[in-house]
Structure 1
Amino acid sequence: MRIPLSILDLAPINRGETASTSIAASVALAQRAEEHGYERVWYAEHHNMPRIASSATSVLIAHVGAHTTTIRLGAGGVMLPNHSPLTIAEQFGTLDAMYPGRIDLGLGRAPGSDQNTMYALRRNPNSADRFPQDVLELQAYLAGETRVAGVDAIPGKGSRVPLYVLGSSMFGATLAAALGLPYAFASHFAPQLLEPAVAAYRAEFKPSEQLDAPYVIAGLNVVAADTEDAARAELQAVKRNLAIGLFGRGQSLTDEQADQLLAQGAGHHVEGMLTHTAMGSPGQLADQVEGFRKLADADELIVAHQSSSVEGRLRSVELLAQAMA
């Protein structure tokens, strides 16, 4: 049976482009994913990152939802300690009212940015410590079983928008298992603990009202092109963009300068992030993807289609679907 494929869209702002063009590209990407049978598209909350346009995650989901008809849309994820559970219940309850049966809510506990941005978000440095309690409070609002006397999420009450725990460590794995929620591992950029985290989640899972058996979604980078040479060239462009985004301090750098960053140490970090990457033409992808699925012991793969251009990402979406059909 074909493993379900989904997409993680970071709404990248490519060099020379704007947030407006990035958002338009996210609409096109979701439409292409819908055409080719992907399960869902998720958007990740990041802040103060010049090359990522998905900071207002629920707003972006609402916009994409208006331009698609069937594909599931959600957060992958909302960084819950940045928000009150009631606010997120209201936002995603509103989305569910707009697009019934199509909305997912993935939850993470990282800040999604740096210390100064945490301050600007008015986030308490200790807010992550409350993550398990906040997940339960949020879940109760969505179930119509509020834990705060006299307070309901409207919209949201009774919507039971499905929750997913996101993580890249053992903490998220054990929490998802204890709460009986699906677990999504961020192996597309933090691969180190993938196998032990998934093993712990499966071993410790306790059935819940939402889920009766463990369900693992694993992140995979994909660089698909019509030829292997084109895919290799695209992967190098992706590495340059990552190096600039992570180490370029907001500067506009040339390819040569990006290559210097890669050679001076950024390359080791970038290669580590891209450990789990399927790259090549359609005929080369199926075995790589299936090999990763087995390694991750995953029920579903969520793919970050890596490309330096919108056209390249859209083509990658098509080619992977064809390869895995």
Structure 2
Amino acid sequence: MTAPLRLSVLDLIPVRSGQTSSQAMTASVGLAQLADTLGYTRYWYAEHHNMPSVASTTPPVLIAATAAKTERIRVGSGGVMLPNHAPLVVAEQFAALEALAPGRIDLGIGRAPGSDPVITQLLRISGPTADVDRFPDHIADIQALIHPGGAALRMTSGSEYTVHATPAAASVPTIWLLGSSDYSARLAASHGLPYVFAYHFSGDGIEAALELYRSNYTPSAEHPEPQTFLTLNVSVAPTAEEARRRALPQMRAMARLRTGRPLSVLETVEDSENSGRDTATDELVAAMEKRWVIGAPDAAGQAIRQLASRYGVDEVMVSPISGAFASDPLDATPGRAQTLELLAGELL
């Protein structure tokens, strides 16, 4: 019998035509509750800014709301974009979350901006904490701040000043480093931290990154062995045709992003199918179809297992990108729920 594969969820909280942010967030929390009952391992929110089709701007707020509405599943960030925030603020937020939901909080950290250059400047006006070159130091700061011993600052007088993230939880959140490059893989290895490759964003370089991470890994007390998984865009439906139709709005939105066109809320399936065609969009959509997992349950389950085996991971975090038909309710997400249910039937 094939061993179960751990499945998790990455949520950007998509906002579709005619839907408010409130309705999109209600749908997201409902999806997290479904993932909880189905046996998914973790549910992470991504940090993105100034994108009409994405409502996941504040992972800590969303994590708190979701942890309160779920029972078992781990909840976390995928990720907090650290250069946008002071390390002490991040440490305190996640210490508080760990105190609210002990043993269930993940702190996934990235160094990308999560938005366009203008928004990045607005987020990073806080001075030296926004220095991307100090990213490794800030990771070390957070590691120290969330642990019981805290971090010690050397004062000009020569004395030490101890800083703790408060409230002090009885346990600490698990820190993960996120990335799609050699840089993040090496940093995670040197700090003895788990590492996640953002395959959903770009599959290029995954073999090299994972090899660098595993071969250079420095064991830590919390993580004596390297631990990694990959993220993956997925749309699953009873038929391959429906899965492809539901994936089309997200693929078209990604094509607009990559061609520098104005962003908008997600189209419905019908609007995507009835929109005008152009060569650039069609070529990008065709490329996404090859890398994303889009299909009926058996084929999708087999494809995910093959990817997990190829890259040596025993967990895959799926981003359920199934879009909505015009008749779907605004405060729920039937297509994404269907993806999670059908995958659970195949893999959990």
Range of TM-score over shorter length? over 0.9
Q: Does 1:316 align with 2:339?
A: yes
One-letter identity of the residue aligned with 1:137: D
Q: Which of the numbers 21, 31, 37 marks the counterpart of 1:35?
A: 37
Counterpart of 1:57 in structure 2: which amino acid? P
Q: Relative contact order (C-alpha < 8 Å, sep 6+): which is higher?
A: 2
Alpha carbons 1:198, 1:297 under 8 Å: kept = no
1:155 alignment partner in structure 2: 167
The answer as to 2:171 corresponding to 1:167 is no
Inter-partner Cα distance in structure 1 for 2:98 and 2:10:
20
How far 1:136 sits from its partner (Å)?
0.4
**1:129 aligned partner, one-letter code:** D
Write the distance in 2 (CA, Å) between the matches of 1:26 and 1:250. Answer: 21
Q: Does the alignment pair 1:184 with 2:186?
A: no
SS in 2 for 1:240: helix
Tell me what 1:299 maps to: 314
Distance 1:282 1:93 in 2: 39
1:1-325 aligned at under 5 Å gives the runs 1-123=3-125, 127-144=131-148, 145-148=150-153, 149-156=161-168, 159-244=171-256, 247-251=260-264, 254-255=271-272, 258-260=275-277, 263-272=278-287, 275-309=290-324, 310-325=333-348
In structure 2, distance between residues paired with 1:155 and 1:270: 47
Q: Does the 8 Å CA contact 2:83/2:124 hold for their aligned counterparts?
A: no
> Secondary structure at the residue paired with 1:93?
helix
Q: What CA deviation, in whole Å up to 9, does each residue of 1:160-192 have, x standing for no partner?
A: 211000000000000111111100010011111
- Amino acid in structure 1 at the alignment position of 2:184: G
- Write the letter of the residue equivalent to 2:262: R
Distance in 1 separating the partners of 2:79 and 2:109: 5
- Which consecutive unaligned segments of at least 5 residues does structure 1 have? none
Does the C-alpha gap of structure 1 residues 8 and 121 become closer, same or farther in structure 2, counting only changes over 3 Å?
same
Q: Alignment partner of 1:163: what SS?
A: strand
* Alignment-mate amino acid for residue 59 of structure 1: V
Residues 224 and 102 of structure 1, relative CA distance in 2, 3 Å threshold: same
> Post-superposition shift, 1:266?
3.5
Greater radius of gyration (CA): 2
- In the alignment, the residues of structure 2 paired with residue 275 and residue 206 of structure 1 have an alpha-carbon distance, to the nearest angstrom, of 35
* Count of paired positions: 323
Paired residues of 2:256 and 2:281 also in contact (CA < 8 A): no
* Shift, 1:271, TM fit: 4.8
Do 2:53 and 2:264's aligned partners in 1 also have CA atoms closer than 8 Å? no
Q: Is the 8 A contact 2:96 2:169 kept in 1?
A: no
In 2, Cα distance between equivalents of 1:173 and 1:74: 20
Contact 2:99 2:170 in 1 (8 A): no
Gaps of 5+ in 2: 154-160, 325-332
* Deviations 1:91-127, CA, capped at 9 Å, x for gaps: 1111111111110000001111111011111346971
